[in-house]
Chains A and B, each alone.
Chain A
């Protein structure tokens, strides 16, 4: 079974631009979560989607948004990029939302650099 895939793997943008990152979960997984990892803040939760609905959102500005499609693939978008948005963005998928079966599996990440 293929793992979680993320595209692109690396991205360089300039301030003010916008970016879209993509995540394809493990086949059969319906929950997709996004995390941002920076050296200073560690791993922080962005949002979680289940059956095309955002069920939870972390403490990030409205410039960060996402969506999930009917095939469970998810995208996240960051508009008006700032230097501080430079980070590793990680996507995770799981079969169930919540409960004992909610082991999360991560993709390789997208490394975003904002110049």
Chain B
């Protein structure tokens, strides 16, 4: 089955810093999503990005499907960006296969 690996597993930054989170996957993809899970457990959709580049405010994402990776960029980090960031791909049985997540802590 599809394997999804995220790096780094943990990231601690000062407020205002920039960061890049990576998601590598083992198979071709037609559905890739990035989520932010807040401390209360809510999964918030960030990007639906099977290919190409998208931007939303301070966040942007790029997926290079041919090289099987996706990147999530966070610029000018704020404390509210803290939480766990997940990359997830949909397999041929229409279930999301999840990475282990990157735990991001933004210090004031």
Contacts and interface: CB of A to CB of B under 8 A. Distances in A.
Interface of A: 31, 33, 35, 37, 42-43, 45, 48, 55-56, 58, 88, 90, 92, 97-100, 102-106, 108-109, 111
Interface in B68-108: 86, 88, 90, 93-96, 98, 100-101
Contacts of A108: 40-42
B45 A103 contact: yes
Contacts of A98: 90, 94
B33 interface: yes
Contacts, number: 53
Given A33-B96, A98-B90, A108-B40, 17 more contacts: A31-B94, A33-B94, A33-B95, A37-B41, A42-B98, A42-B100, A42-B101, A43-B88, A43-B96, A48-B95, A55-B94, A56-B95, A100-B31, A102-B31, A106-B35, A108-B42, A111-B41
Contacts of A102: 31, 90, 94
A56 B30 contact: no
A74 to B, nearest CB: 15
Given A102-B31, A106-B43, A97 B86 contact: no
Given A56-B93, A102-B31, A109 B41 contact: yes
Interface centre among A42, A43, A99, by most chain B C-beta atoms within 10 angstroms, is A43
A42 to B, nearest CB: 6
14 contacts: A31-B94, A43-B88, A43-B96, A43-B98, A48-B95, A92-B96, A99-B30, A100-B30, A102-B31, A102-B90, A103-B33, A106-B35, A106-B42, A108-B40
A112 to B, nearest CB: 12
Interface string B11-53: 0000000000000000000110101000011110100101000
